[in-house]
Amino acid sequence: MINNRELRRMAELNGAEATVGHLSESIEAGHLKPTDFSLRGLFQALVTNRDGTIVGNDVLEECCDPRGPRKVLSESAHTVDTSHFANVSGLLTVRQAMDAYKAEEFVFSALIPTMSAARQLERLSGTSQLGDQAQIIGESKPYPTAGFTEDWVDLPTMLKRGFIVPVTKEAIFFDETAQVLRRASDLGYSFGLNKEKRAIDCVIDENTTAHRYKWRNSTYATYQTSTPWINSKTSNALVDWTDIDAVEALFANMVDPNTGEPIEVAPNTLMVAPSLEATAMRVLDAIGIAYHSAGYPTNAAALATTAGNPIGRAGSKYSMKYSIVSSRQFAARLATDTDWFLNNPAKAWVYREAWPATPSQAPVNSEMEFNNDIAFRFKISEMGAYATVDPRYAAKSAA
Establish if 16 belongs to a structural domain: yes
pLDDT, tens only, 130-155: 455 566 777 887 876 655 567 889 99
Would you state the pLDDT for residue 365?
65
Mean pLDDT of the chain: 84
Please tell me whether residue 251 adopts helix, strand or coil conformation: helix
Is 30 within the bounds of a domain? yes
Total domains in the chain come to 1
Q: How many CB atoms are located within 10 Å of the residue 101 CB?
A: 21
Consecutive H or E run containing 307: strand 304-308
The answer as to whether 261 is a domain residue is: no
pTM exceeding the 0.75 threshold for the entire prediction: yes
Backbone angles phi, psi at 54, to 5 degrees: -75, 130
pLDDT band at 314 (very low <50, low <70, confident <90, very high): very low
Residue 66 domain-assigned (yes or no): yes
54 falls within a domain: yes
The predicted pLDDT at position 146 comes to: 57
Q: What is the pLDDT of residue 107?
A: 96
CB 213 within 8 A of CB 203: no
- To the nearest 10°, the Cα dihedral for 285, 205, 381, 389? 90
How much is the average pLDDT of 56-67? 54
- For residue 97, being part of any structural domain is answered with yes
Share of the chain above pLDDT 90, in %: 46
Range of the domain at 97: 4-105+167-198
pLDDT score recorded for residue 143: 73
Q: For position 58, what pLDDT does the model report?
A: 52
Tell which residue, 364, 376, 373, 371, has the closest CA to residue 165.
Answer: 376
- Residue 13 domain flag: yes
d(CA 386, CA 74): 43
Bridge partners (DSSP) of residue 152 are 125
Does the structure show a pLDDT above 90 at 271?
yes
Q: Is the pLDDT confidence value at 126 over 70?
A: no
The Cα 333–Cα 39 span in angstroms is: 40
Question: What is the per-residue pLDDT for 70?
Answer: 43
Residue type, 199: A
CA dist 341 and 271 (Å) reads 5
User: Is residue 158 situated within a structural domain?
Assistant: no
- Rounded distance between C-alpha atoms, residue 300 and residue 328, angstroms: 49
Other beta carbons within 10 angstroms of residue 269's beta carbon come to 19
Residue 137 buriedness (CB in 10 A; 0-12 / 13-18 / 19+)? exposed
Q: Identify the residue with better confidence: 83 or 236.
A: 236
